[in-house]
Chains A and B, each alone.
Chain A
Amino acid sequence: MGTETGRAAADPGWDALARVAAGETDAFAELVASHQERLLRLCERLLADAEEARDAAQEVFLKMFRKAGDVRPQGQVYTWLYRIAVNHCLNKLRRRRLVRFLRWEDPADDADAPPFDPPDTAPGPAAALEARRRWGATRRAIARLPAGQRAVLILARFEGLSYRQIAEVLGITEGAVESRLFRAMRRIEAAQETGSLHVSPREGRR
Protein backbone atom coordinates (compact mmCIF):
# COMPACT_ATOMS: atom_id res chain seq x y z
CA MET A 1 0.00 0.00 0.00
CA GLY A 2 2.91 2.29 0.74
CA THR A 3 4.08 1.84 -2.82
CA GLU A 4 0.60 2.67 -4.11
CA THR A 5 0.52 5.88 -2.09
CA GLY A 6 3.98 6.79 -3.31
CA ARG A 7 2.95 6.19 -6.90
CA ALA A 8 -0.22 8.21 -6.40
CA ALA A 9 1.76 11.14 -5.07
CA ALA A 10 4.16 10.86 -7.99
CA ASP A 11 1.41 11.25 -10.58
CA PRO A 12 0.80 14.99 -11.03
CA GLY A 13 -2.52 14.10 -12.68
CA TRP A 14 -4.13 13.80 -9.23
CA ASP A 15 -3.19 17.39 -8.41
CA ALA A 16 -4.65 18.49 -11.72
CA LEU A 17 -7.81 16.55 -10.93
CA ALA A 18 -8.04 18.27 -7.53
CA ARG A 19 -7.81 21.59 -9.36
CA VAL A 20 -10.61 20.47 -11.69
CA ALA A 21 -12.73 19.67 -8.63
CA ALA A 22 -11.99 23.17 -7.34
CA GLY A 23 -13.43 24.59 -10.54
CA GLU A 24 -10.29 25.28 -12.60
CA THR A 25 -11.39 24.53 -16.14
CA ASP A 26 -7.89 25.12 -17.51
CA ALA A 27 -6.72 22.15 -15.46
CA PHE A 28 -9.42 20.02 -17.07
CA ALA A 29 -8.37 21.06 -20.59
CA GLU A 30 -4.76 20.21 -19.68
CA LEU A 31 -5.77 16.78 -18.41
CA VAL A 32 -7.77 16.10 -21.56
CA ALA A 33 -4.87 17.21 -23.73
CA SER A 34 -2.41 14.97 -21.92
CA HIS A 35 -4.61 11.85 -22.05
CA GLN A 36 -6.61 12.31 -25.26
CA GLU A 37 -4.27 10.43 -27.56
CA ARG A 38 -4.09 7.19 -25.61
CA LEU A 39 -7.76 7.33 -24.62
CA LEU A 40 -8.97 7.85 -28.19
CA ARG A 41 -6.69 5.03 -29.32
CA LEU A 42 -8.04 2.68 -26.65
CA CYS A 43 -11.67 3.50 -27.47
CA GLU A 44 -11.01 3.03 -31.19
CA ARG A 45 -9.44 -0.36 -30.60
CA LEU A 46 -12.28 -1.50 -28.38
CA LEU A 47 -15.07 -0.20 -30.58
CA ALA A 48 -13.38 -0.62 -33.97
CA ASP A 49 -14.82 2.68 -35.13
CA ALA A 50 -13.02 6.03 -35.04
CA GLU A 51 -16.15 8.16 -34.96
CA GLU A 52 -17.79 6.19 -32.18
CA ALA A 53 -14.46 6.26 -30.35
CA ARG A 54 -14.43 10.08 -30.39
CA ASP A 55 -17.91 10.20 -28.84
CA ALA A 56 -16.91 7.57 -26.28
CA ALA A 57 -13.69 9.37 -25.33
CA GLN A 58 -15.60 12.62 -24.90
CA GLU A 59 -18.09 10.88 -22.62
CA VAL A 60 -15.22 9.41 -20.59
CA PHE A 61 -13.61 12.81 -20.11
CA LEU A 62 -16.95 14.33 -19.10
CA LYS A 63 -17.36 11.58 -16.53
CA MET A 64 -13.88 12.40 -15.27
CA PHE A 65 -14.98 16.02 -14.94
CA ARG A 66 -18.12 15.10 -13.01
CA LYS A 67 -16.31 12.70 -10.70
CA ALA A 68 -13.21 14.81 -10.09
CA GLY A 69 -14.39 15.73 -6.60
CA ASP A 70 -15.24 12.17 -5.56
CA VAL A 71 -12.19 10.24 -6.67
CA ARG A 72 -9.63 9.00 -4.14
CA PRO A 73 -6.04 9.18 -5.49
CA GLN A 74 -4.87 5.63 -5.95
CA GLY A 75 -2.41 4.40 -8.55
CA GLN A 76 -2.15 6.38 -11.76
CA VAL A 77 -4.77 8.72 -13.20
CA TYR A 78 -4.64 6.95 -16.57
CA THR A 79 -5.50 3.63 -14.87
CA TRP A 80 -8.67 5.17 -13.51
CA LEU A 81 -9.44 6.79 -16.87
CA TYR A 82 -8.81 3.49 -18.65
CA ARG A 83 -11.23 1.79 -16.28
CA ILE A 84 -13.97 4.30 -17.09
CA ALA A 85 -13.19 3.98 -20.81
CA VAL A 86 -13.19 0.17 -20.83
CA ASN A 87 -16.50 0.04 -18.90
CA HIS A 88 -18.05 2.60 -21.21
CA CYS A 89 -16.90 0.86 -24.40
CA LEU A 90 -17.79 -2.63 -23.22
CA ASN A 91 -21.29 -1.45 -22.35
CA LYS A 92 -21.56 0.00 -25.85
CA LEU A 93 -20.48 -3.33 -27.29
CA ARG A 94 -22.96 -5.23 -25.11
CA ARG A 95 -25.66 -2.86 -26.33
CA ARG A 96 -24.71 -3.68 -29.93
CA ARG A 97 -24.90 -7.39 -29.17
CA LEU A 98 -28.24 -7.03 -27.37
CA VAL A 99 -29.71 -5.21 -30.34
CA ARG A 100 -28.51 -7.99 -32.65
CA PHE A 101 -29.94 -10.61 -30.30
CA LEU A 102 -33.31 -8.84 -30.25
CA ARG A 103 -33.27 -8.78 -34.04
CA TRP A 104 -32.68 -12.56 -34.08
CA GLU A 105 -29.21 -12.03 -35.54
CA ASP A 106 -26.01 -13.72 -34.44
CA PRO A 107 -24.85 -11.57 -31.47
CA ALA A 108 -21.20 -12.36 -32.28
CA ASP A 109 -21.55 -11.42 -35.92
CA ASP A 110 -19.97 -8.11 -36.82
CA ALA A 111 -21.93 -7.78 -40.02
CA ASP A 112 -23.54 -4.52 -38.98
CA ALA A 113 -20.43 -3.16 -37.31
CA PRO A 114 -19.30 0.19 -38.68
CA PRO A 115 -17.61 0.01 -42.10
CA PHE A 116 -13.96 -0.86 -41.92
CA ASP A 117 -11.93 1.73 -43.77
CA PRO A 118 -8.48 2.06 -42.24
CA PRO A 119 -5.98 4.55 -43.64
CA ASP A 120 -3.49 3.26 -46.19
CA THR A 121 -0.04 3.48 -44.66
CA ALA A 122 1.71 0.67 -46.54
CA PRO A 123 4.25 1.60 -49.22
CA GLY A 124 2.57 -0.07 -52.23
CA PRO A 125 -0.87 -1.35 -53.33
CA ALA A 126 0.01 -5.01 -52.73
CA ALA A 127 1.39 -4.30 -49.27
CA ALA A 128 -1.63 -2.11 -48.51
CA LEU A 129 -3.99 -4.90 -49.53
CA GLU A 130 -2.06 -7.37 -47.41
CA ALA A 131 -2.13 -5.04 -44.41
CA ARG A 132 -5.88 -4.48 -44.76
CA ARG A 133 -6.43 -8.24 -44.91
CA ARG A 134 -4.45 -8.74 -41.70
CA TRP A 135 -6.24 -5.89 -39.95
CA GLY A 136 -9.61 -7.22 -41.07
CA ALA A 137 -8.78 -10.71 -39.79
CA THR A 138 -7.68 -9.33 -36.42
CA ARG A 139 -10.78 -7.19 -36.18
CA ARG A 140 -13.03 -10.18 -36.86
CA ALA A 141 -11.12 -12.31 -34.37
CA ILE A 142 -11.47 -9.70 -31.65
CA ALA A 143 -15.15 -9.07 -32.46
CA ARG A 144 -15.94 -12.72 -31.73
CA LEU A 145 -14.42 -12.65 -28.25
CA PRO A 146 -16.55 -12.19 -25.13
CA ALA A 147 -16.29 -8.62 -23.83
CA GLY A 148 -14.03 -9.45 -20.88
CA GLN A 149 -11.53 -11.36 -23.01
CA ARG A 150 -11.59 -8.67 -25.67
CA ALA A 151 -10.66 -6.00 -23.13
CA VAL A 152 -7.78 -8.06 -21.71
CA LEU A 153 -6.42 -8.92 -25.15
CA ILE A 154 -6.49 -5.31 -26.35
CA LEU A 155 -4.88 -4.00 -23.18
CA ALA A 156 -2.16 -6.67 -23.34
CA ARG A 157 -1.44 -6.87 -27.06
CA PHE A 158 -2.10 -3.35 -28.29
CA GLU A 159 -1.77 -1.13 -25.22
CA GLY A 160 1.24 -3.04 -23.89
CA LEU A 161 -0.02 -3.14 -20.30
CA SER A 162 1.38 -5.68 -17.85
CA TYR A 163 -0.86 -8.23 -16.15
CA ARG A 164 -0.76 -6.13 -13.02
CA GLN A 165 -1.77 -2.95 -14.82
CA ILE A 166 -4.59 -4.74 -16.62
CA ALA A 167 -5.79 -6.15 -13.30
CA GLU A 168 -5.84 -2.60 -11.87
CA VAL A 169 -7.75 -1.23 -14.85
CA LEU A 170 -10.37 -3.97 -14.88
CA GLY A 171 -10.60 -4.40 -11.12
CA ILE A 172 -9.84 -8.15 -11.31
CA THR A 173 -6.98 -10.34 -10.09
CA GLU A 174 -3.81 -11.00 -12.10
CA GLY A 175 -4.85 -14.65 -12.23
CA ALA A 176 -8.13 -13.67 -13.88
CA VAL A 177 -6.22 -11.55 -16.40
CA GLU A 178 -3.96 -14.47 -17.21
CA SER A 179 -6.88 -16.84 -17.58
CA ARG A 180 -8.86 -14.48 -19.84
CA LEU A 181 -5.85 -13.82 -22.03
CA PHE A 182 -5.18 -17.53 -22.30
CA ARG A 183 -8.77 -18.27 -23.30
CA ALA A 184 -8.80 -15.40 -25.79
CA MET A 185 -5.64 -16.71 -27.46
CA ARG A 186 -7.08 -20.22 -27.53
CA ARG A 187 -10.19 -18.99 -29.32
CA ILE A 188 -8.17 -17.02 -31.83
CA GLU A 189 -5.85 -19.94 -32.51
CA ALA A 190 -8.84 -22.25 -32.98
CA ALA A 191 -10.50 -19.79 -35.35
CA GLN A 192 -7.30 -19.46 -37.34
CA GLU A 193 -6.95 -23.22 -37.56
CA THR A 194 -10.48 -23.66 -38.89
CA GLY A 195 -9.91 -20.79 -41.31
CA SER A 196 -12.96 -18.90 -40.06
CA LEU A 197 -10.93 -15.72 -39.80
CA HIS A 198 -9.65 -15.97 -43.35
CA VAL A 199 -6.07 -15.57 -42.18
CA SER A 200 -3.80 -16.99 -44.83
CA PRO A 201 -0.71 -18.94 -43.70
CA ARG A 202 1.40 -16.11 -45.10
CA GLU A 203 -0.43 -13.58 -42.92
CA GLY A 204 -0.01 -15.81 -39.91
CA ARG A 205 3.75 -16.02 -40.32
CA ARG A 206 4.23 -12.28 -40.40
Chain B
Amino acid sequence: MNRGTEMELMRLLHGGLSPDRERELRARLEREPELAAAWTRLQRTWSGLELPPPAPVPPGFAQRVAARAQEQAGGTSWSTAPGWVRAAATAALVTGIALGAGAGLWSGKQAPSGQASEEQTSFATTSESLFDDNLAESYWSALDELGDRP
Protein backbone atom coordinates (compact mmCIF):
# COMPACT_ATOMS: atom_id res chain seq x y z
CA MET B 1 0.00 0.00 0.00
CA ASN B 2 1.41 3.37 -0.92
CA ARG B 3 1.76 6.42 1.27
CA GLY B 4 -0.99 8.28 -0.60
CA THR B 5 -3.55 5.62 0.27
CA GLU B 6 -2.44 5.61 3.91
CA MET B 7 -2.84 9.37 4.02
CA GLU B 8 -6.32 9.01 2.59
CA LEU B 9 -7.13 6.60 5.38
CA MET B 10 -5.98 9.30 7.82
CA ARG B 11 -8.36 11.73 6.14
CA LEU B 12 -11.14 9.18 6.32
CA LEU B 13 -10.49 8.83 10.03
CA HIS B 14 -10.34 12.56 10.60
CA GLY B 15 -13.37 13.36 8.46
CA GLY B 16 -11.61 15.31 5.73
CA LEU B 17 -12.55 13.32 2.61
CA SER B 18 -15.11 14.41 0.04
CA PRO B 19 -18.27 12.22 0.04
CA ASP B 20 -17.37 10.72 -3.37
CA ARG B 21 -13.84 9.87 -2.33
CA GLU B 22 -15.08 8.45 0.96
CA ARG B 23 -17.52 6.15 -0.88
CA GLU B 24 -14.74 4.92 -3.17
CA LEU B 25 -12.38 4.27 -0.30
CA ARG B 26 -15.02 2.43 1.74
CA ALA B 27 -15.76 0.23 -1.30
CA ARG B 28 -12.04 -0.58 -1.55
CA LEU B 29 -11.96 -1.44 2.15
CA GLU B 30 -14.60 -4.09 1.45
CA ARG B 31 -12.53 -5.64 -1.36
CA GLU B 32 -8.92 -5.31 -0.16
CA PRO B 33 -7.97 -7.19 3.02
CA GLU B 34 -4.57 -5.47 3.28
CA LEU B 35 -6.19 -2.06 3.19
CA ALA B 36 -8.84 -3.16 5.69
CA ALA B 37 -6.11 -4.38 8.06
CA ALA B 38 -4.31 -1.04 7.82
CA TRP B 39 -7.59 0.76 8.47
CA THR B 40 -8.27 -1.32 11.58
CA ARG B 41 -4.73 -0.70 12.85
CA LEU B 42 -5.06 3.03 12.28
CA GLN B 43 -8.43 3.24 14.04
CA ARG B 44 -7.04 1.28 16.98
CA THR B 45 -4.02 3.55 17.32
CA TRP B 46 -6.16 6.68 17.01
CA SER B 47 -8.77 5.65 19.55
CA GLY B 48 -6.04 4.30 21.86
CA LEU B 49 -4.70 7.85 22.23
CA GLU B 50 -6.37 9.17 25.35
CA LEU B 51 -5.49 11.91 27.78
CA PRO B 52 -7.02 12.69 31.17
CA PRO B 53 -9.73 15.34 31.38
CA PRO B 54 -8.10 18.77 31.72
CA ALA B 55 -7.86 20.45 35.10
CA PRO B 56 -10.68 22.92 35.78
CA VAL B 57 -10.05 26.62 35.21
CA PRO B 58 -8.73 28.05 38.50
CA PRO B 59 -11.26 30.41 40.15
CA GLY B 60 -10.50 34.07 39.44
CA PHE B 61 -8.05 33.24 36.63
CA ALA B 62 -9.42 35.87 34.22
CA GLN B 63 -9.36 38.56 36.92
CA ARG B 64 -5.78 37.74 37.87
CA VAL B 65 -4.65 37.89 34.25
CA ALA B 66 -6.47 41.21 33.76
CA ALA B 67 -4.77 42.60 36.88
CA ARG B 68 -1.35 41.52 35.54
CA ALA B 69 -2.13 43.20 32.24
CA GLN B 70 -3.06 46.39 34.09
CA GLU B 71 0.24 46.27 35.98
CA GLN B 72 2.18 45.84 32.76
CA ALA B 73 0.26 48.62 31.04
CA GLY B 74 1.21 50.93 33.91
CA GLY B 75 4.94 50.79 33.28
CA THR B 76 7.62 49.64 30.92
CA SER B 77 9.67 46.58 31.66
CA TRP B 78 11.95 44.12 29.94
CA SER B 79 9.06 41.73 29.41
CA THR B 80 6.98 44.34 27.61
CA ALA B 81 9.76 45.52 25.27
CA PRO B 82 9.25 44.57 21.60
CA GLY B 83 10.69 41.22 20.51
CA TRP B 84 13.33 42.77 18.25
CA VAL B 85 14.65 44.97 21.07
CA ARG B 86 15.01 41.95 23.32
CA ALA B 87 16.57 39.87 20.55
CA ALA B 88 19.11 42.63 19.81
CA ALA B 89 19.92 43.09 23.50
CA THR B 90 20.33 39.33 23.94
CA ALA B 91 22.64 39.13 20.92
CA ALA B 92 24.74 41.99 22.32
CA LEU B 93 24.95 40.22 25.66
CA VAL B 94 26.01 36.94 24.04
CA THR B 95 28.67 38.74 22.03
CA GLY B 96 29.91 40.44 25.18
CA ILE B 97 30.13 37.15 27.03
CA ALA B 98 31.92 35.48 24.10
CA LEU B 99 34.46 38.32 23.97
CA GLY B 100 34.85 38.14 27.74
CA ALA B 101 35.41 34.39 27.56
CA GLY B 102 38.01 34.87 24.83
CA ALA B 103 39.82 37.50 26.88
CA GLY B 104 39.62 35.29 29.96
CA LEU B 105 41.13 32.34 28.14
CA TRP B 106 43.87 34.50 26.67
CA SER B 107 44.77 36.03 30.04
CA GLY B 108 44.59 32.55 31.60
CA LYS B 109 47.38 31.45 29.25
CA GLN B 110 49.50 34.42 30.36
CA ALA B 111 48.94 34.04 34.13
CA PRO B 112 50.36 31.41 36.51
CA SER B 113 48.27 28.23 36.39
CA GLY B 114 46.59 28.44 39.86
CA GLN B 115 45.41 32.00 39.38
CA ALA B 116 44.09 31.31 35.87
CA SER B 117 41.98 28.36 36.90
CA GLU B 118 40.43 30.37 39.75
CA GLU B 119 39.53 33.21 37.40
CA GLN B 120 38.13 30.84 34.83
CA THR B 121 36.01 29.07 37.42
CA SER B 122 34.62 32.35 38.65
CA PHE B 123 33.83 33.45 35.08
CA ALA B 124 32.19 30.13 34.30
CA THR B 125 29.97 30.42 37.36
CA THR B 126 28.90 33.92 36.39
CA SER B 127 28.16 33.04 32.79
CA GLU B 128 26.31 29.87 33.77
CA SER B 129 24.00 31.77 36.06
CA LEU B 130 23.38 34.35 33.35
CA PHE B 131 22.47 31.64 30.88
CA ASP B 132 20.34 29.81 33.40
CA ASP B 133 18.22 32.77 34.42
CA ASN B 134 17.80 35.88 32.35
CA LEU B 135 19.58 35.23 29.11
CA ALA B 136 17.98 31.95 28.11
CA GLU B 137 14.59 33.24 29.16
CA SER B 138 15.00 36.43 27.14
CA TYR B 139 16.20 34.55 24.10
CA TRP B 140 13.26 32.15 24.07
CA SER B 141 10.73 34.89 24.85
CA ALA B 142 12.07 36.98 21.99
CA LEU B 143 11.74 34.00 19.66
CA ASP B 144 8.17 33.47 20.88
CA GLU B 145 7.29 37.04 20.03
CA LEU B 146 8.82 36.89 16.58
CA GLY B 147 6.90 33.72 15.79
CA ASP B 148 3.51 35.05 16.91
CA ARG B 149 3.03 37.68 14.27
CA PRO B 150 -0.46 37.36 12.81
Shortest beta-carbon distance from A67 to chain B in Å = 7
Nearest neighbor of B136 in chain A, beta-carbon distance? A95
Instruction: Determine which of A40, A138, A205 lies in contact with B54 in the assembled complex, contact meaning CB atoms within 8 Å.
Output: A40
A11 and B72 alpha carbons, distance in the complex (Å): 27
Number of A-B contacts (CB under 8 A): 142
- Type the 1/0 row for B53-89, where 1 means its CB is closer than 8 Å to any CB of A: 1110110011111101110110000001000000000
Interface centre among B6, B63, B140, by most chain A C-beta atoms within 10 angstroms, is B140
Shortest beta-carbon distance from A79 to chain B in Å = 9
- Type the 1/0 row for A167-192, where 1 means its CB is closer than 8 Å to any CB of B: 00000000000110110010011001
A84 and B62 alpha carbons, distance in the complex (Å): 18
Q: Judging by beta carbons under 8 Å apart, are A62 and B42 in contact? A: no
The answer to whether A50 has its CB under 8 Å from any CB of chain B is yes
A37 and B59 alpha carbons, distance in the complex (Å): 12
Q: Judging by beta carbons under 8 Å apart, are B47 and A206 in contact? A: yes
Question: A54: which B residues are within 8 A, CB to CB?
Answer: 58, 61
Shortest beta-carbon distance from B5 to chain A in Å = 11
Instruction: Determine which of A65, A66, A74, A205 lies in contact with B150 in the assembled complex, contact meaning CB atoms within 8 Å.
Output: A74
The answer to whether B46 has its CB under 8 Å from any CB of chain A is yes
Which residues of chain B from 26 to 66 have any CB-CB distance to chain A below 8 Å in the complex?
Answer: 41-42, 44-55, 57-58, 61-66
How many A residues touch B, CB cutoff 8 Å?
66
Nearest neighbor of A35 in chain B, beta-carbon distance? B62
Q: Judging by beta carbons under 8 Å apart, are B7 and A41 in contact? A: no
A24 and B11 alpha carbons, distance in the complex (Å): 43
Q: Judging by beta carbons under 8 Å apart, are B48 and A80 in contact? A: no
Question: A205: which B residues are within 8 A, CB to CB?
Answer: 44, 48
Interface class of chain A by DSSP: helix
A179 and B136 alpha carbons, distance in the complex (Å): 32
The interface stretch among B106-114, B116-124, B141-149 is B141-149
A132 and B66 alpha carbons, distance in the complex (Å): 35
Q: With A54-B58, A63-B145, A66-B72 in contact, is A199–B48 under 8 Å at CB?
A: yes
Shortest beta-carbon distance from A167 to chain B in Å = 11
Which residues of chain A from 59 to 99 have any CB-CB distance to chain B below 8 Å in the complex?
Answer: 61-63, 65-67, 70-72, 74, 80, 83-84, 87-88, 91-92, 94-95
Shortest beta-carbon distance from B6 to chain A in Å = 7
Q: With A29-B62, A29-B63, A182-B3 in contact, is A135–B70 under 8 Å at CB?
A: no
Shortest beta-carbon distance from A174 to chain B in Å = 9
The answer to whether A156 has its CB under 8 Å from any CB of chain B is yes
Nearest neighbor of B55 in chain A, beta-carbon distance? A50
Q: Judging by beta carbons under 8 Å apart, are B42 and A185 in contact? A: yes
Nearest neighbor of A49 in chain B, beta-carbon distance? B55
Q: Judging by beta carbons under 8 Å apart, are A65 and B69 in contact? A: yes
Q: Judging by beta carbons under 8 Å apart, are B10 and A181 in contact? A: yes
Q: Judging by beta carbons under 8 Å apart, are A87 and B10 in contact? A: no
Nearest neighbor of B16 in chain A, beta-carbon distance? A163
Question: A119: which B residues are within 8 A, CB to CB?
Answer: 52-53, 55
Q: Judging by beta carbons under 8 Å apart, are A182 and B62 in contact? A: no
Question: B140: which A residues are within 8 A, CB to CB?
Answer: 91-92, 94-95
Nearest neighbor of B143 in chain A, beta-carbon distance? A91
Q: Judging by beta carbons under 8 Å apart, are A80 and B49 in contact? A: no
A28 and B62 alpha carbons, distance in the complex (Å): 9
Q: Which 6 A-B residue pairs are closest in the complex by CB-CB distance?
A: A118-B52, A50-B55, A29-B66, A32-B62, A41-B54, A33-B62
